[in-house]
Chain A
Amino acid sequence: MKGKVISFPAPERGAVEPGDDALVASCAAGRAAALGTLFDRHHAMVHRVLSRLPGADAGDVEDLVQQTFIEVHRSARRFDGRSAVRTWIVSIAINVVRHHVRSEARRRALENAAVQASAALTPERPDDAERVHLADRLWKGMAKLSQDRWAAFVLCDLEGMSGVEAAEALDVPEGTVWRRLHEARNKLRETLKEE
């Protein structure tokens, strides 16, 4: 695999790429190599989701990605195969975010940082101005969403997850996902209308 620093996998017979379930099972057996492969497969999605956390800088996001995968390894024995591994990993990432922003002080700091970060957005071309403006307002709006609504919006609208997948990732009924998404969209639409 390209770019691997440490070739952790133990010698195995055959050149079969293990499935995600198998990798999680191997993690449960303590194999760091399996976690490395899960990271290769899913880090981009996890990083993208966590990058949508308002106010989190690049270092914060990397820390959260690291926490997510360490938790994946730690929780591997509890994985029961009822959801796809991808969805399960996202659920862990969302929980990591919940812990991260638990304190209100940190939440406020993130909101402030989000405002500062969004102010740095600049259009590359004149016709991009409106889009950048919208993205800027959206960024600020996301900082004001509750964790539940934020997660529903990021998973459904930004990551394109289905309602079933998002429900599994958030461990709520599918109807709850749509309600939260509706509330998130309403809030964000209000923000987009603000001047």
Chain B
Amino acid sequence: MKTVNSACPEPPELDRVFSEGADEAVEDHLRRCPRCAAEWAEIKKLAAAGRDMPYSPLSEDRREILRASIVARVSAPPRKSLAGPRAAVWAAAAAVLVLVAAAVIARFGFESRGSGAAARNSAANATVFPGKDASFTRLGSSTDGIIRLAEGTITVEVAALAKGERFRVVTGDAEVEVRGTLFDVTAVSDRLDSVRVIRGRVEVRPAGRTATVLDHGQRWNTAALSRSAQAIVEDGADQDQEDEEVPEASDVIEAAAGTPLTAAQNGTGPGASQPQVRVSMQSNTVEAAFEKGWQALSSGDPGRASGLFGLAASAAGSDPLAEDASYWMAVSLGRAAEKAKARAAFFSFLNRYPDSVRAGEASAMLGWLLFEAGDLDGAAGRFNDAAGDKVQRVRESARAGLEAVAKARGGP
């Protein structure tokens, strides 16, 4: 019959102590209590057995394929046709998830709140003035401050941040990144509604395509998204003037000149002066990235091309160009002898664009890559997928692939 010494830890307590570390009193008890010592030894043996359990981590190939598949699954749904007028593309932009990344470009003077080391903390360096009924939460770290805005308007003042520090306001569908400015952000039902820059200058980069520069006094709002454009309302400008915004060059690709679109109405409330309206849309950075990728591939630099196509694919969102960019990224990786990445890229492409006119060709290429990697079953499956392609060259490649698989398996 088991007896419990009154000094013995309760059973779950011994388990807790084993996991979190024994203190002196418990260690002393274990030396004096054979029953607890035996229990302790058994727990220890169990823990050792747990550590000895076999585990096979993901191979690099599998990891890349899994990653690509996950990212493809959560990305914007594919569009089947590459064709279509540019107007349709812009119209699609209205449905695209909008990300706004705003970065202060100009060196405008402003009062910095706080000083010294404490003031260099981005979160501490941001002062939030919530409007009535504003609902927001502070997230992030000391070097990467985030305000998660769900509803209402907040005015945020962010003093100069140290190098490497960031501060952002995030809504359910957008992100505003700032660095030393004063601005309002309004969310409605967890969606970004408007951004008004009071001081400083920001670059607004909607996900996928257009980037817009907001100067102090300018406002960005979503009202015009339904008309396929971002609207900027600028106080003091000439209403009839449709002007191009000249954005900062992006980090990776140089944006072409802006394309003026339709005018938008001012969305400000009572008391606002009648603004002059100017709407602009940055040139198609997706096309620019794609074009540069194509140039790199043509000039024999597939490694660089794959990066540029990848950028175009990721930035394109639901733009039909994303399909082409994804395909050529995979091809570029293959030409760059990045076999594992190429396999994952083709896998991702076929997952995302199963109805693509290039699906057969991609399947055949993936088949050969899998064949080279020794995955005969996988290769055969891809060659079979490509065997009925409309293009003779693809069908021939698939047939050759199936023959190679059969031969490798020891067949005739």
Contact = CB atoms under 8 A, between A and B. Distances in A.
Nearest to A39: B67
A189 B168 CA distance: 50
B140 A21 contact: yes
Contacts of B50: 138, 153, 157-158
16 contacts: A4-B67, A5-B341, A6-B348, A13-B179, A18-B144, A28-B170, A32-B74, A33-B71, A47-B57, A47-B58, A65-B66, A69-B70, A135-B54, A157-B50, A179-B12, A185-B15
A192 to B, nearest CB: 7
B188 interface: no
Interface stretch (B40-48, B262-270, B368-376): B40-48
B237 interface: no
A147 interface: no
Top 6 nearest A-B pairs by Cβ distance?
Answer: A30-B97, A8-B314, A134-B49, A11-B251, A7-B310, A178-B12
A interface SS class:
helix
B12 A121 contact: no
A189 B74 CA distance: 43
Contact of B19 (A8, A33, A163): A163
B73 A29 contact: no
Contacts of A66: 66, 69-70, 73
Interface in B167-193: 168, 170-175, 177, 179, 190
A62 interface: yes
B307 interface: yes
Interface of A: 3-14, 16, 18-19, 21-22, 24-26, 28-33, 35-36, 39-40, 43-44, 47-48, 51-52, 58, 62, 65-66, 69-70, 73-74, 77, 80-81, 121, 131-132, 134-135, 137-139, 153, 156-158, 162-163, 175, 178-179, 181-182, 185, 188-189, 192
Contacts of A51: 55-56
Of A10, A28, A32, A185, most B-chain CB atoms within 10 Å: A10
Contacts of B340: 3
A81 B137 contact: yes
B30 interface: no
Nearest to B307: A7
A131 B165 CA distance: 49
Interface residues of B, number: 85
A89 B12 CA distance: 26
Given A121-B54, A182-B11, A182-B12, A162 B70 contact: no
Given A6-B326, A26-B175, 17 more contacts: A3-B60, A3-B64, A5-B345, A5-B348, A6-B71, A13-B177, A24-B139, A29-B175, A47-B58, A62-B58, A66-B69, A70-B70, A131-B49, A137-B49, A153-B50, A178-B19, A181-B16
A192 B49 contact: yes
B313 interface: yes
B166 A25 contact: no
